[in-house]
Amino acid sequence: MGPVLDRVTSPADLRTLSADELATLAAEVRDVLVQTVARTGGHLGPNLGIVELTIALHRVFDSPAEPILFDVGHQAYVHKLLTGRAAQMPTLRQGGGLSGYPSRAESTHDWIENSHASTALSYADGLAKAYAVRGERRPVIAVVGDGALTGGMCWEALNNIAAADRPVIIVVNDNGRSYSPTTGGLAEHLAGLRLRPGYERVLGQVKGALGRTPVLGQPLYDALHGVKRGIKDVLSPQGMFEDLGLKYFGPVDGHDLPAIENALRLARGFGGPVIVHCVTRKGYGYPPAENDEADQMHQSTGFDPVTGLARPSTGKSWTKVFGEELVAIGEERDDVVAITAAMCNPTGLAAFARRFPDRCYDVGIAEQHAVTSAAGLAFGGLHPVVAIYATFLNRAFDQLLMDVALHELPVTFVLDRAGVTGNDGPSHNGMWDLALLGMVPGLRIAAPRDEVTLRELLREAVAVSAGPTVVRYPKTPIGADLAVLRRVSDVDVLREPDATASVDVLVVAVGSIAADVLDAAGAVESAGYTVRVVAPRWVTPVDPAIGAFADQAALVVTVEDGVATGGVGSRISQTLRDGGRDVPTREIGIPVRFLEHGNVADVRASAGLTVQDIGRRIVEWSATVPPGGERPATADGLTEAEDADPRR
């Protein structure tokens, strides 16, 4: 690792290091970050940019008694290295290894691990209130990026924090970026400061003032404040924070360790709510990251540490197909607009944004606002496509329910990273969408299983003129197109026994898991049971054809990569029962628990979702029910009513 880092087993060790040793430590930490993430993948740019700031935080504050809360937590690798976990760094994001976010199980220095943005200030507010109630006066520190600061929760928390005198220290790590440059009025305000020619001079003045100032709390803050007040209105965003009632220190050069330490000591001594504004550079110290135009290596799946070149990706991604098809749709329809919550590249919208810059909106890390703003766009006669990771839509459930669905507005939600996502851990699995969204009246959910169905279903979704639609797909590479034997209503038959055999088990495959279900079906047939596999293209509402297929089977099994409780399978079972059908039903899905991080295959295995698990469970269940009945004489066994397309 490096001779200085080797000596750091806890933050206390940092306080004994000389200035030279601290500089060496920063270099060693950067080297570990690059070498590790090159192999394991993970968040590189944000961690390279926060090295000095993290060292300063741990020298000034007494963690864990004085909690340091990292918003999102993707930038906490340095914190891990300084809190006794350097030796485990090679296991980062691997099953059984270090988490890619803070983890309470790993260390008492880790307080929060939710990893959905813009929450740290609220946690800090609550912790500070708790300490006040308990009669303890200890500072609580929230480290928040300028990207996360675009999220509404931050401002709700600031509103409370500013109105009290509790010692909450908000460290703004301002690198001007979320994944890509942070957008919006706040971002422009902060960027204006950085772009002014006088910025260096401001840094110099502030540094000088801080350097001469011992830590004496409020009186000195006031004096210092007086020094800076003259430049405030021209160059600094402090007015904005101070208008809220918050004290402001900065801007501080976030790579100048003595300067940050001084600012943090002042903030600590002040004793009330305060903002410390640090200006940092994402990717700092590693040229391939610093020079990466797209996102300064915000997140990488692995790369060559010497050149910084990404490892070649395996296979075509769902994201790319979506991005291509949306551009094609955009060429044909000028009413189609797109929205991203600070994730233009990762959600595949970049091509659309380049082609139609006036029809693509990056609203910041603000999923709730994104959804209600989409409702406004729909009221205005447009068809918005909200591209979002499945897990982050959880944030905006109420907005989808009340602001969009209640008004029957035509908004299409495209949920990427649905199902098990693996290495990013429990918070990033997109396993709740199918269950949550099943409760929304009038919402239609499409689950494409391959490239051809993704393109078709996206087009069908944006063609819907009343009520919201969802198209959801996973992170794993898109597989080969699956052959369809026939289509009944809107349900594709992917496999069935020969015409004379009865059907022991009907397996309903939800979306991209269909390929695994087909593999599992082979094993079920080898065990002596006949299988029909069907895949509804629209999985909610339940297609009436499922009922007719169920009538021909001795057992119905549903398979989905979302939580089994309340998921598509449970809706199918309920619909069959409501229709008076007493065919036994079983649901395979993800158990309701948080899944540990690891690669996708291992996490799926831990959730009982491998091909082998699916096959074994179907065989076990098939053994418990009487064999399948005779197949009806008609081609599909459908009544006229059941044959109706549920979307019409």
Ligand X SMILES: Cc1ncc(C[n+]2csc(CCOP(=O)(O)OP(=O)(O)O)c2C)c(N)n1
Residue 250 CB, nearest approach to ligand X (Å):
16
Residue 285 CB, nearest approach to ligand X (Å):
15
Which helix (H) or strand (E) segment holds residue 276: the answer is strand 274-279
Can you tell me whether residue 491 is helix, strand or coil?
strand
> Is 367 tagged catalytic?
yes
Residue 100 or 598: the one with the smaller Cβ distance to ligand X is 100
HSE-up of residue 150 (Cα within 13 Å, Cβ side):
29
Residue 28 or 367: the one with the smaller Cβ distance to ligand X is 367
178 Cβ contact list (under 8 Å, min separation 6): 145, 146, 147, 148, 150, 342, 343, 364, 365
Residue 295 or 560: the one with the smaller Cβ distance to ligand X is 295
Give me the catalytic one of 106, 367, 496, 560: 367
Residue 173 or 319: the one with the smaller Cβ distance to ligand X is 173
Strands (E), 311-420: 336-340, 360-362, 383-389, 412-418
96 Cβ contact list (under 8 Å, min separation 6): 598
Helix/strand number for the chain, H first, E second = 26, 18
285 Cβ contact list (under 8 Å, min separation 6): 26, 27, 30, 48, 51
Of 8, 9, 1, 61, the closest CA to residue 27 belongs to: 1
Residue 151 or 646: the one with the smaller Cβ distance to ligand X is 151
Give the pair of three-digit tokens for residue 298: 């915000």
Encode burial over 21-38: b for 16+ CB neighbours within 10 A, e otherwise. ebebbbebbbbbbbebbb
Give me the catalytic one of 282, 359, 472, 532: 282
Of 470, 431, 478, 365, the closest CA to residue 589 belongs to: 431
Residue 134 CB, nearest approach to ligand X (Å):
30
Residue 598 CB, nearest approach to ligand X (Å):
19
106 Cβ contact list (under 8 Å, min separation 6): 80, 85, 98, 99
User: Could you tell me the CA-to-CA distances from 206 to 60, 176, 225, 249 in Å, in that order?
Assistant: 19, 20, 10, 9
Give the pair of three-digit tokens for residue 437: 């969204």
Contact 279, 252 (CB under 8 A): yes
Residue 295 CB, nearest approach to ligand X (Å):
9
> Is 395 tagged catalytic?
yes
Contact 396, 408 (CB under 8 A): no
Residue 175 or 421: the one with the smaller Cβ distance to ligand X is 175
Residue 370 CB, nearest approach to ligand X (Å):
10
Contact 533, 495 (CB under 8 A): yes
Residue 74 CB, nearest approach to ligand X (Å):
5
**DSSP sequence for 53-94:** HHHHHHHHS-TTTS-EEESSSTT-HHHHHHTT-GGGGGGTTS
Residue 510 CB, nearest approach to ligand X (Å):
25
Give me the catalytic one of 395, 417, 444, 631: 395
Residue 599 CB, nearest approach to ligand X (Å):
20
CA–CA separation, 646 and 433 (whole Å)? 21
Residue 289 or 454: the one with the smaller Cβ distance to ligand X is 289
Residue 394 or 574: the one with the smaller Cβ distance to ligand X is 394
User: Could you tell me the CA-to-CA distances from 489 to 93, 414, 514, 547, 576 in Å, in that order?
Assistant: 43, 24, 18, 11, 17
Which helix (H) or strand (E) segment holds residue 603: the answer is helix 600-606
User: Could you tell me the CA-to-CA distances from 276 to 51, 98, 523 in Å, in that order?
Assistant: 16, 30, 61
Point out which residues bind ligand X (CB under 6 A): 46, 72, 74-75, 115-117, 145-148, 173, 175, 177-179, 282, 298, 341-343, 365, 367, 392, 395
Residue 42 or 139: the one with the smaller Cβ distance to ligand X is 42
Residue 75 or 558: the one with the smaller Cβ distance to ligand X is 75
Contact 157, 122 (CB under 8 A): yes
Residue 299 CB, nearest approach to ligand X (Å):
8
Which helix (H) or strand (E) segment holds residue 487: the answer is strand 486-488
Q: Which residues are part of the catalytic machinery?
A: 282, 367, 395
